[in-house]
Each structure stands twice: as structure tokens, then as C-alpha cells.
Structure 1
Amino acid sequence: MKHQNLLYWTYMALFSFIHLHFFLEGFSLELHYAVLILVILPVIYYLHLIILLPLSPLGGRWNFSLFVLQSIMIAVYFGASPAPEHGVLFLLFIGLEFLRIAVSRRMSGLTQSIRQLEDEQQQLNDTFKVVRSERHDFLKHISAIHFMLEHDEITEAKNYLNDLVDGYEETNLSIRGERGSAAGILHDMYRRGRRSGIEMVYDLDMPLSTLPLSDKDLVTLLGNLLSNSLEACEEFQKHKGKQAEISLQFYKRSGLYMLICKNDSLEIPPHIVDKLYASFGHTTKTGSHEGLGTMMIDDVVKRHGGYLDFIHKNETFMVKIKFPAVH
């Protein structure tokens, strides 16, 4: 992904240079090449910082087709005398790139939504299987405990009951009073955290389904918040060699719903922290991540009139979200 973006912005710089050169030449204005480069490079660099451009959803065929069309437009310059009318080619070049950006981002969002819906369906299926299995085995566990008590095996019964309660706690914390969508994502994230050795704490005064959000937006918000926290905690445990913790708090105060997600985290460079939710395309993760998670969280919060704040201090990252309690 990084190589694709580097190639794209290099291509943008080169084609912008050619278009601007011939555009000015059509009006009998000539600037030295060095001056043109000094004008174009800062603009391209700024656009690179503020525009999140996922190229892969558009596909190689469409990207290549646009490149060929742009090349043909460039060829027109070299086959004709400079003229003011060539400014239309410059405007067409800009228009095509705006179209590429808009379509790419739209397709990326649709792909992400489809992936989230598939994940949500799988999470609901997994949660349903767990609940059905626990219900099916409940009477067997009661019979086993009853047998131990009848034979005065008090210690064994106590240990058996403790193990049983630990198992049920995982499910109960996730599904208590929640709609299916929220229960599925909470249960899935809880299990993922426990499998990674992360301490998961759900401190919920009321069901998260109380939030005035659609199922889709609720899953998007919770899924990205918790998955970001899980990945940060996994990195923390890998480098620090000690257990990490995630806590999710939800309560209502003074007409506001308060959602607070806190997790252990490695140090984050200040230039990334400052722009993490302020602009898109910034991520604390390694690899080919695009920072889409923070973008989607920010989008859900803004669309529902909420307020998002975050802080990173003493190896702890905390996101605090407030929603007005209006249905």
C-alpha cells in the first residue's frame, strides 16, 4: 500500500508539472523549471498529508485506464502548438483525479461496510452457539455439583462452581441487556482479548444498546474502538513482557451518555497523536494500515452530534466519547 501511494503521488507530481508548464505556456507565461518544482512539490506534499487515498478498491484495471487517458492528454500537448484552450486539459486532469479520489474512497467505505457486516454475522452466530451450548449443558453442571455435595465433596464442588462461574461471566458480561449486534461484538472482543492474555474489563452501568445509534453505527463504533485497543495491547505485551488491560466504561451523567475506552499502549510519536483523529490516514499500527478505524469512529460520533476526546499519557491511551441523551 505504501509503495502504491508513493507511486501515485510521484505520478501526480510529474503530470502536474507537465500540465502546469503547458498551461502557462499557452498564455505566453514561462517559469523556470526549478520555480515550477518549488510550486508543485509543497502542494503535492500537502495533498498527500490530508487526502486518504485507498487505491486498491478501485482495481488495477481502472487505475491503469485512468493513467492511459491521462497520458493521451499529455501527448496532445506535444502534438500541438501552445494555446490557451489547452487549459481545458489541465482542468480535465484535475477533475479526473477528484473523481478517482471520490470513487476510491466510496468503494473503500462500501468494502469496509460489507466486511463489517460479514464479521457481525459471524459474531452473532458464535455468540448464539455459545449461549445455546451453555444452556444445553446447564442441567448437567447442576447434576454434577449436586452429586459432589451429596458425597460431601465440598472443595471439589466449590472449585467446579468457580470454573463454571468464570465461564459464564464471559458470556454474561457481553449479552446482558444488549441487542444482538452489540452482544455479538462485545462477546467476540472479550474472547479475543482473553485469548491474547489481556485483562478485559466491561464496566457498564446500562446496556450499550441504550445509545441512540443504529445497529450498524453501534457495531462500527464498538468494533473499531475495541479492535484498536486490542492491537495496541498486543503490541504492549509483546514489547513490555507484562499483561495489558482494556477497560470499557459506559454510564449516563447530566443528559449525556459517556463512553470511555482505556488501554495500555506503547509510546506514540507526538506527530501521530496530534493528528490521530484530526485528519485521516494516520495510524499507530505497523504494516499497511490506512487509519480507517479512527476515521470511522470520528464519522459516527460527528453524525450523531457527539464529542470525542483522547489522551495518551504514561503508557495509557484513553478515548472519551460523549453523546447527547436524545432519542
Structure 2
Amino acid sequence: MKLITPISFVFQSVPEAIVFAIFFVALMGMRVKDNLIKATLAGVLLASSTVVFWAVELPFLVRFFLQLPVFWIILYLIFRAPFNKVMITGTIAFGLLIIAETISLELALLIFGITHADVMQSDFLKITVVSGGYVVLLIISWVMNKKRWSLFKQQEQIEMYTTKDVRKINTYLMVLVLQVLLIVSINLSYVTGFFQFSNLAFHIVTFVLIIVTGFLLFFAHNIITISAKAGELEAHKEYLKNVNDLFVTIRGQRHDFLNHLQVIHSYAKMGKTEKVQAYANSLFAEVKEISKITIPNNATLSALLQTKNVLMESDGIELDINVKSSFQNTALKDIELVKLVGNLLDNAREAIIENDVVKEQRKIILKIFDDADYTHLVVNNLRPTLTEEQIQKMLVSGYTTKANHTGIGLSIVQQIVERYSGIMNVTSSETDGTVIAIAMPIVNKSTPELTNTEAPTIMR
């Protein structure tokens, strides 16, 4: 009996493979609408490879396990994602596709009273009885894109995994892959007549394997989430250290204040006016170095900007800071504010360094201010500029134009902005350079905008 006919290839194998590719894209965290052409191409190639393998006279399970690596290679060549992620995601997507088809098939057999033999002998039944599973997977793909969920979402957001964390995550994911492979092989063996157990045994084994797979998926996600929280804690500790260092310096200056007054008083008594003026100027410069980035009501932001300012100075980058809001009117948590501002400044700084920008154009402008409804954050580096294609790609997690860099910074920024229904806009031109403008909704208007005397402005 011929299992694949021209009709079933066009109306069942190709749509099945396209649904699989779309589901793969969603699990990877890529936007389906931006990769629809690639998913369609992958679907046609995957369906064609299936025809080739079915034409080869090999035992079913041997053919199946040879076919899976070919799927991985096709997906890798088309989507150019890391191969280990392609392998894990592709296998899980394939397994869930087969499970969805099996559930849809079993429901059709139960409701309409048909048999597996009837399905295998009719192209129409082959196409229709499994279509419910395809619809469910497409809906799940849409929801994942809408919620911006992916199999590796939490892992991508944190770079500070310990070796133990990585080992746990990889172990659970690989066990999950093996479990899915077992489910797929048993299901396909049963449907194609290779399964030798009774129907009852088949249903019991399949049910147990599905439950175990569900637990493995839950535990894998749980481990990734716990590791992400641990990474956030480490980041928070680092910036709290910056806060502490900043205020240790401030306390030190206050402690020395009386000594400074005594020196000035002595010069004044001796009538050495020029000495008084020179000493006062040097003292003012020292105090200004700290106070210029001391933002009222937000010690965390003060510490962050102080730290970034020192880094910019060491790299010969001019930093122009104009802060007239402390972000206290938004719903942002301190750790999210650190990620938001820190990632934008880091990206701008690294872009300048990586592109060897000339001294005259090594400048970053940071503005934070409020209007009636939003707190605005603007980061502008005069060079380098970006093409429209680079702007479209830069928000994709993993994309970067910088060497030895993860490329997840702006993806994290975008996730934070969307989490609070904010607005993010990226522009780039020869005149203005690259500008990233973010607007976060104001939820508490009790804190007034900083006045000109309170707002730190740096122009070096």
C-alpha cells in the first residue's frame, strides 16, 4: 500500500510540514509573520525529504531516526539559529506535532466510528482527521508570539548561569528530547502497523509517556525560571554595591567638610583671598564630581549612572546626561530600571568601541524627562549609524553587529518596555546618529518632575 500519494503530499504532507515549521519558529521565540516565507520553504523541503525517505526500503524506525537529523539540518540552514537549539526545539516541535495528530486521529476514530485502516486507505481522511491538531498548534503558535514566550526565553535574559545551572537545564532538556522521541516512535509505529502490542497497552504507554513528558517540560521551565531569578539577584547585588560605594564617597566628603571649612577660615583670617578662591574652586570640583549624578529619590539610578560615567571616561567617550525625572512615577522595579538604562548605555558604548569611532564623535547623550502621561528615556550615540535592515533585526534576541557579544541586550529592553505597555522607537541618520527613545506610562503622579537645580546635567 502506498502511504504517500500526490494528493496526500500536496494537501496533507506539505501543510503538515509548514505547520511544524511555524510551530518551530514560535518555540524558538522568533516572530512567525517575519519568518512565514522561510517557514513555507522549510515545510516544502521537509515534506519532500519525507517522500524521499519513504521511497527507500528501510525498516520504519531506522527510516524515522535517519529522517530526524535531516530535519535538523534543513531547519538550521534556513533559519541559521544555534544548532543545539535547533535540535532541541525541532525535536520537541516534531514530537508535539505527532502527539497533536494522534489525539486528533483518536478523537475522529471515537466520534465517527472509523478505523485506522479506513484512514490509511483514504486521502480525504488522511487530510481531515488530523487537521484539528494542526489548528491547535497554529493557535498555540499565535499565543506564544503574542505573549513573546519561547522555550529559551528565561535562559536568554540572564547571562550569569552557574555551571551547575547549565548542567541541570541541559540534562532536563535532553531527557525531554529523548522522551519526545520515544513518544513519536511509538505513535508512528502504531499508526503504520509496526506496533506489536495490544490497543490497551498502546494507550497506557502513550498516556504514561505524555504525562512524564509534561512533568519534564514543567521541571525544565522551572529550573530555567529559578536560574533567571538567581541571575537577577546577582545583578541586583552588583548595582547595590554601586549604590553603597557612591554613598560611602558622599559620607566621606561630609566627614571632611569641617576640615575644609577650617582651611578656608584660616586663609580668610590671613587675608589670602586668592588662596580662598583657589581652594573653594578645587573643593567645588570634587563635590560636583559626585553630586552631578546624584538623582533625588532614586539612589539606584544615581549609582548606575555614576558607574557608567566612570566607564565612559576611561574609554574616552563624552557623556551628556540630562535627567529631569527619577522614574518614580512609573511601575518599573529598580532591577528593571537598571536593565533598561544599563543595557542601552552598554550597547551605545560597545558600538562606539567596536566601530573605532573617531574622538570627535565619541559621544552619548542620555535624557530622562516626564510629560503628562509618560516618563521618557532617550539614548543617542552620534556614531555608528544603522541601516533600516539592522534596525529591524536589532530587537531580535541573539542578533548583534558586535564581536564577542550575546546580542540580547536590546531584546531585554524591548521585553521590559512591552511588559509595562511602553513605547519604543529606534531611528538612525547621519545627522542625529542612532537614537533609541522609550516612553514608559506614568502610574503615579505624586512625585513632581525634578527642577533645574535638582536635575543633574553633565556637559564635558
Q: TM-score, normalised by structure 2?
A: 0.53
The within-5 A match list for 1:5-44 is 5-10=82-87, 12-13=89-90, 28=120
Q: Alignment partner of 1:175: what SS?
A: coil
Alpha-carbon distance, 1:60 to partner: 2.2
1:227-283 deviations in Å (ceiling 9; x for gaps): 3333233335x4535562222212233443322221233244543311333x43333
2:323/2:367 contact within 8 Å kept: yes
1:119-171 deviations in Å (ceiling 9; x for gaps): 121111111111112222333344445555646472x6555544433332232
**Aligned counterpart for 1:303 among listed residues 409, 414, 419:** 419
Q: What letter corresponds to residue 214 of structure 1 in structure 2?
A: K
**Aligned counterpart for 2:286 among listed residues 130, 143, 167:** 167
Q: Alignment partner of 2:437: what SS?
A: strand
The within-5 A match list for 1:149-298 is 150=270, 152=272, 154=274, 158=277, 160-236=279-355, 238-242=356-360, 244-268=362-386, 270-277=388-395, 279-291=396-408, 293-298=409-414
CA pair 304-249 structure 1, distance change in 2 beyond 3 A: same
Q: Which residue is equivalent to 1:140?
A: 259
Alpha-carbon distance, 1:203 to partner: 1.1
**Aligned counterpart for 1:131 among listed residues 226, 247, 250:** 250
Matched, 1:70 2:177: yes
- Segments of 5+ residues of structure 2 without an aligned counterpart are 1-79, 103-115, 124-143, 192-202, 445-460
Alignment RMSD? 4.4
Matched, 1:312 2:397: no
Q: What letter corresponds to residue 274 of structure 1 in structure 2?
A: Q
Alpha-carbon distance between aligned partners in 1 of 2:251 and 2:266, rounded to the nearest angstrom: 24
Q: What letter corresponds to residue 289 of structure 1 in structure 2?
A: T
CA pair 147-235 structure 1, distance change in 2 beyond 3 A: farther
1:145/1:160 contact within 8 Å kept: yes
1:259/1:322 contact within 8 Å kept: yes
Alpha-carbon distance between aligned partners in 1 of 2:94 and 2:436, rounded to the nearest angstrom: 42
Q: TM-score, normalised by structure 1?
A: 0.71
Percent of paired sites with the same residue: 20
Q: Bigger radius of gyration, 1 or 2? A: 2
Alpha-carbon distance between aligned partners in 1 of 2:209 and 2:387, rounded to the nearest angstrom: 39
CA pair 141-129 structure 1, distance change in 2 beyond 3 A: same
Q: Alignment partner of 1:283: what SS?
A: coil
Alpha-carbon distance, 1:64 to partner: 3.2
Alpha-carbon distance, 1:74 to partner: 3.7
Q: What letter corresponds to residue 250 of structure 1 in structure 2?
A: I
Q: Decide which moves more: 303-312 or 104-113.
A: 104-113
1:70/1:93 contact within 8 Å kept: no
CA pair 140-194 structure 1, distance change in 2 beyond 3 A: farther
- Segments of 5+ residues of structure 1 without an aligned counterpart are 31-46
Alpha-carbon distance between aligned partners in 1 of 2:151 and 2:186, rounded to the nearest angstrom: 35
**Aligned counterpart for 1:326 among listed residues 434, 437, 443:** 443
Alpha-carbon distance between aligned partners in 2 of 1:164 and 1:269, rounded to the nearest angstrom: 47
Alpha-carbon distance between aligned partners in 2 of 1:267 and 1:223, rounded to the nearest angstrom: 20
Q: Alignment partner of 1:193: what SS?
A: helix
Q: Decide which moves more: 73-82 or 299-308.
A: 73-82
1:271-299 deviations in Å (ceiling 9; x for gaps): 3311333x4333343224141x3233223
